[in-house]
Amino acid sequence: MASLAVGIILAVLAPLIIAANVLVAIALLRLIWKTGYKGHYFVLNLAAADTIVGLSVVGLVRGELSEHVHPPQIFCVLRMAFVTSSSAASILSLTLVACYRHLAIRKPFHYHQLVTGTRVGLHLVGLWLLAGIVGFLPLLIPGFQKISIEEKCSFFGVFHLSYMLIVSCMGFFPVLFLFIYLYCDMLKIASVHVQQIREVERAGLARGSTSDMKAMRTVAMLIGCFVLSWLPFFIAGIVQTVCTKCFPYRVIESYLWLLGLCNSLLNPLLYSYWQKDVRRQLSQLAAGVKRKVLHLGNGCCFPSRGTESIPTVSCLQLQD
């Protein structure tokens, strides 16, 4: 019964994740095309990573809804490796977004000189390489795999608990501490800017402070949702490695892991809500789709029942 409920939740969650992130990605592509702002590439990469999370989850739906589906071990390992690597790419993309927002606040006058296309490309390539290494590490080191599986295709069904411990201690918690440092430093810088503006009223600095506060608000919401979504899963996973009977792994996989996946749905919703430019692009996109639908509807309308067609009249008839 629990497996069926998880399967239904995944079946609903996966298309929502894909649709929300695709819409935000389209809006960001329109923004990049209009403004050329390179900072949008990191958020676009976040939307792409979350879209891949949704696509990778689609493959797990059939396994949860079917009671007697036991795929080969290598197939299950590859499937969970894709899920893990895409989730790692999403978390690392959040890290890049926070780092570059921090750079924009700390060095606003040198930001455009520091954020070049080459550096952005190198950082994104390095991000996906690192995410691939994290996700496919059990394939590179077979000791992280379980020898045989009797359960369904799941994280703890194919991966050893030591792999969970390494991912938590070397991946998740360093990222969490980095988030806390970046946000505290941005808060300190923004408070200094506000004090300077109150002392010297300059229009340029006032606009910069507004952008600082907006950047802080967006980063704070993204970090907060990230912590609330993934922290319970990783804490329970560490407890599971230390005491295997203290926490039933099915609870971790069925509920806490689903909570972590919800972060891939919250990211586009939060970003489209808090960022005015993205929200404006989505509104324009919706208005354009509405106009096309109405245009097609007006072009394909037919006379209603009981109406007569207007007869054609020639020029000679008009003269008569």
Q: What pLDDT is stored for residue 46 in this prediction?
A: 92
pLDDT band at 122; cut points 50, 70, 90: very high
Give pTM, 2 decimals: 0.80
Q: Which long-range contacts (CB under 8 A, 24 or more apart) does 161-170 make?
A: 161/237, 161/240, 161/241, 161/244, 162/241, 163/137, 163/138, 164/237, 164/238, 164/240, 164/241, 165/237, 165/238, 165/241, 166/137, 167/84, 167/134, 168/234, 168/237, 168/238, 169/238
User: How much is the pLDDT for 132?
Assistant: 93
Q: Residue 318 has what pLDDT? A: 38
**CB of 85 closer than 8 Å to CB of 136:** yes
* pLDDT tens string 249-295: 667 766 788 888 899 999 888 877 777 888 888 888 888 888 888 77
Q: CA 81, 83, 87, 93 torsion: positive or negative?
A: positive
Which pLDDT belongs to residue 320? Answer: 40
What's the pLDDT tens digit per position in 188-244? 887 777 677 666 655 554 444 555 566 667 777 878 888 888 888 888 888 877 777
SS3 percent helix, strand, coil of the chain, rounded to 5, is 80, 0, 20
pLDDT score, position 312: 47
User: In the predicted model, what is the mean pLDDT of residues 56-85?
Assistant: 78
Grouping H, G, I as helix, E, B as strand and the rest as coil, residue 145 is strand
Segment 40-70, tens digit of pLDDT: 898 899 999 999 999 988 877 776 776 666 6
List of domains in the chain: 1-282 (1.20.1070.10)
Res 16: pLDDT: 93
Greater pLDDT, 23 or 310: 23
Lowest-pLDDT choice from 76-80, 211-215, 241-245, 302-306: 302-306
Residue appearing with tokens 């490309």: 121
Distance in angstroms between the alpha carbons of the first and the last residue of the chain: 83
At residue 151, does pLDDT exceed 70?
no
Kindly report the backbone phi and psi dihedral angles of residue 159, in degrees, each rounded to the nearest multiple of 5, phi listed first: -110, 145
Least confident of 68-72, 121-125, 207-211, 315-319: 315-319
Q: With bands split at pLDDT 50, 70 and 90, how would you rate the model's confidence at 21?
A: very high
Is the model more confident about 234 or about 125? 125
Percent of the chain having pLDDT more than 70?
77
Q: Is 159 helix (H, G, I), strand (E, B) or coil?
A: strand
Q: What is the mean pLDDT of residues 158-187?
A: 86
- Tokens, residue 169: 């201690």
DSSP code string of 271-301:
HHHH-HHHHHHHHHHHHHHHHHHHHHHHHT-
Task: Pick the closest to residue 190 from 171, 206, 170, 177 (CA basis).
Answer: 206
pLDDT for the residue numbered 214: 64
pLDDT of residue 17: 93
Rg over alpha carbons for the chain, rounded to the nearest Å, is 26
pLDDT of residue 235: 86
Judged by DSSP in three states, 314 sits in coil
CA distances (Å), origin 320, targets 268, 310, 312, 313: 68, 19, 15, 11
Mean of the per-residue pLDDT values for the chain?
Answer: 79
Contact 79, 60 (CB under 8 A): yes
CA-nearest of 62, 55, 64, 63 to 83 is 55
Q: Token pair 């300077």 is at which residue?
A: 196
DSSP 8-state assignment for residue 255? I
Q: What is the DSSP string of 40-91?
A: HHHHHHHHHHHHHHHHHHHHHHHHHH-TT----HHHHHHHHHHHHHHHHHHH
pLDDT > 50? residue 176: yes
Residue 183 has pLDDT above 60, yes or no: yes
The residues, ordered by sequence, that sit 6+ positions from 139 with a Cβ below 8 Å of its Cβ are: 77, 78, 81, 145
Say if residues 90 and 267 touch (Cβ distance below 8 Å): yes
- Tell me what pLDDT residue 225 has: 87
